Structure formats: C-alpha cells, structure tokens
C-alpha cells in the first residue's frame, strides 16, 4: 500500500501555530484568574460608604489589570534593509513585567480598600466618642431627675397635709412647687439635648486598637505600592507571530519569536528612594492635622481635661453637700414653723444637689473608664 509522508515543514508550521495559539490563550486567560478579586473587598465591608469606595477602586484596578495582562495584537508591513523582500507580519506580544504588575495592581487596590475602611471606622469612633459619652451622661441625668421628682412629690404630699392641718403656711408649700418647676425644666432641657445629639453605632473597640490597625493597613498599602513600583526595575518581553512575503508574493509563511530582557541600572538607587518614601509617609501621617493618629491624641487630651474638670466640680459639690447635711442635723428635731420651712428648703436644695453630684460622679467615672480602655 502507498504510504503518505508528512513533510517536516508541515510539522514545523503546525507547531508554530499551536505555540502562538497557546501563548495567546494563556495571556487572555490570565486576567480571568484574578476576576474574582474585584468583589473580595466589598464582601468584607458592611458600611455603605466603604462598599462604594471599595467598588470604585477595585473596578478601576481591574481595568488597569486587564490592560496590563492582556497581550497586544500586532500587525504591519516591514521592508528589511538587507535587500530581502517586503514582509507582512502579525502576531501577539506581551511582557512578564506587565503580567506581574496586573496582579500587584489588584493587591494594591485591596490594600487601599482595607486602609480606607480602617481609617473611616477609626475616624467615626474618634469623632463621636465624646458625643456618645455625653448622651450616656444625659440619659443618666434623666434618671436622677426622675428620682428627685419622686422624692419631691413625697415631700410635697407631706407638706400639703401639714398645711391642711395649719401646721405650715401655703407660701412654704409654694416653695416646693417652685422646685418642681425647676426639675421639670431641667428634664425638658436634658431631653432636648439628647435628641439633638447624633451618635451612629460605634465599633466598641478601643481607640488604641483601631489606630494600630489603621497604621498596619497603611504599612500594607505602602508595601503593595512599593512592590508595584519595583516592577519597573526589570522586564522580559515576549513576541510571537507569523510573517509572509508579499513582494513578490509567494507562499512563504513562517513563525517568528523574540525574547528580550531589560534591567534598569538605577534600580538600587530607585529602591533606596522608595524605602525612604515609605518611612517619610509614616512620619507625615503621625503629625498630619486631621489624620486619625493626631485626632486620637486630641481626643485623649480632651478626656484628660474633662476628668480634671469633673473632678473639681464634684469636689465643690460635695463640700456644699456637707454644709447642707450639717444644717439638716441642726433642724432635724425642730418642730417650729420656721424650722420646718428651713428644713424643706434644705431638703429641696439637697435634692437638686444630688442630681448635680450624681451627674458629676457618672461623668467622671465614664471618662476615667474610657481613658483606661481606649488609651
């Protein structure tokens, strides 16, 4: 039987076409390998602002990644200067540095998203820390006012019975009514302050942990950007395709391939500057007005000053309380109308003073607890 022979030229051309197709397929599939990265940051963030920002930077990075990692299709006509016939060439080209940059671009976007989330969370906790403490103190003050009102109502009921028995005069009872008006006004004012304070849900984590996490995210982002910038130090470029003689035209198809390696001679100096850039960035963030580290220091000082103020306020109120208690002991057993009137005045003053003492004590304890927990 006659046998057919496969020409070596046919094998060579088939190999060349398969190689070109495999190279093109690998370069085209490379971006798809990282397509899932575009949604990673969004899944880790629940805050709408953070989700929107992460989606923005991720989509932007994904576009840059696809541009870097997808191969370039090339076609053209060339006239070699060695006297050879005119050639038409077509194929694809790409470089390993761009592929690596595509991967690192997505990594830098993730780090940027994580940094933004950590920064905004820390900023929110710092911004609303004192308003949150103030709201708690006002709510506690409402409880103190309610307790004082109940005690005043009991005293007013007793005084009313004594007025009916003609043991006390009506002006004495009216003095208690005046104190009741003050308590109601204080309650209304406190409720107004509570509703005027906006305090979003806070993380509940210590500020020192949030600041440390934010600093860690900054380091990670700078490392990611540093890796991305260092990819300019070197490159390996690949180019494959086919060529065809067109003048004169003959069937002379053939494959071509080219590999070139480049290295920037200033890489050592460039990397040194990149390292110094990262250090300078960290130092700048520590002193930047408006940055969370600076704002955390301001918050700490505000809390320390608040502790000092409330401590002085509490001591002054306690001194007044001692004087009232001393006077109450003097008139405790008196049964004259004047003594009973003075007793009621001291008691109402004590009720009002207890609100202020309770308020100052609560604020002082909460500020001390906050300082110890967060710093």
Question: What average pLDDT does the segment 59-73 reach?
Answer: 89
| Res. 223: pLDDT tops 70 | yes
First-to-last C-alpha distance (Å) of the chain = 93
**Is residue 1 classed exposed, middle or buried when 0-12, 13-18 and 19+ CB atoms within 10 A define those classes?**
exposed
pLDDT of residue 132: 95
Q: Which letter, b or e, does each residue of 263-293 get, where b requires 16 or more Cβ atoms within 10 Å of its Cβ? A: eeeeeeeeeeeeeeeeeeeeeeeeeeeebbb
pLDDT of residue 164: 61
pLDDT of residue 172: 65
Measured in degrees and rounded to the nearest 5, phi and psi for residue 348 equal -65, -40
Question: For residues 238 and 95, what is the distance between their CA atoms, to the nearest angstrom?
Answer: 6
Between 191 and 326, name the one with better pLDDT: 191
DSSP conformation class of 75: E
Measured in degrees and rounded to the nearest 5, phi and psi for residue 259 equal -125, 130
pTM for this predicted structure: 0.70
**Is residue 310 classed exposed, middle or buried when 0-12, 13-18 and 19+ CB atoms within 10 A define those classes?**
buried
Render pLDDT for 151-201 as a digit per residue (tens, 0 to 9): 888 887 876 776 665 555 666 666 778 888 899 999 999 999 999 999 998
Q: Tell me if residue 71 falls in helix, strand or coil.
A: coil
User: Which secondary-structure segment (H or E) carries 260?
Assistant: strand 254-263
Question: For residues 127 and 193, what is the distance between their CA atoms, to the nearest angstrom?
Answer: 18
């Amino acid at each position: 039987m006659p046998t057919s022979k496969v020409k070596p030229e046919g094998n060579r051309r088939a190999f060349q076409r398969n190689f070109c197709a495999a190279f093109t397929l690998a370069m085209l599939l490379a971006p798809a390998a990282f397509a899932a990265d575009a949604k990673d940051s969004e899944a880790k963030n629940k805050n709408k602002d953070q989700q929107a920002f992460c989606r923005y930077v991720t989509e932007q990075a994904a576009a840059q990644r696809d541009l870097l990692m997808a191969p370039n299709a090339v076609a053209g006509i060339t006239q070699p200067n060695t006297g050879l016939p005119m050639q038409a060439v077509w194929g694809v080209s790409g470089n390993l540095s761009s592929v690596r940059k595509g991967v690192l671009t997505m990594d830098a976007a993730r780090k940027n998203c994580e940094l933004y989330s950590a920064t905004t969370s820390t900023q929110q906790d710092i911004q609303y820390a004192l308003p949150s403490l103030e709201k708690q103190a006002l709510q506690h003050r409402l409880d103190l006012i309610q307790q004082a009102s109940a005690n005043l109502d009991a005293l007013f009921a007793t005084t009313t019975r004594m007025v009916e028995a003609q043991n006390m005069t009506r002006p004495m009872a009216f003095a208690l009514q005046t104190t009741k008006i003050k308590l109601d006004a204080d309650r209304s004012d406190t409720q107004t302050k509570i509703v005027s304070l906006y305090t979003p849900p806070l993380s509940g984590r210590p500020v020192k942990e949030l600041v440390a996490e934010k600093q860690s995210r900054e380091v990670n982002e700078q490392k990611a950007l540093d890796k991305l910038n260092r990819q300019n130090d070197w490159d390996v470029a690949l180019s494959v395709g086919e060529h065809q003689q067109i003048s004169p035209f003959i069937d002379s198809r053939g494959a071509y391939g080219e590999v070139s390696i480049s290295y920037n001679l200033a890489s050592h100096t460039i990397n040194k500057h990149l390292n110094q850039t990262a250090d300078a960035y960290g130092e700048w963030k520590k002193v930047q007005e408006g940055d969370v580290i600076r704002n955390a220091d301001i918050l700490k000082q505000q809390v320390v000053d608040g502790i000092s103020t409330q401590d002085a306020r509490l001591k002054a109120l306690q001194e007044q309380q001692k004087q009232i208690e001393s006077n109450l002991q003097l008139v405790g057993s008196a049964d004259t109308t004047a003594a009973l009137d003075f007793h009621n005045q001291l008691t109402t003053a004590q009720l009002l003073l207890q609100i202020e003492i309770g308020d100052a004590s609560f604020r002082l304890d909460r500020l001390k607890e906050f300082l110890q927990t967060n710093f």
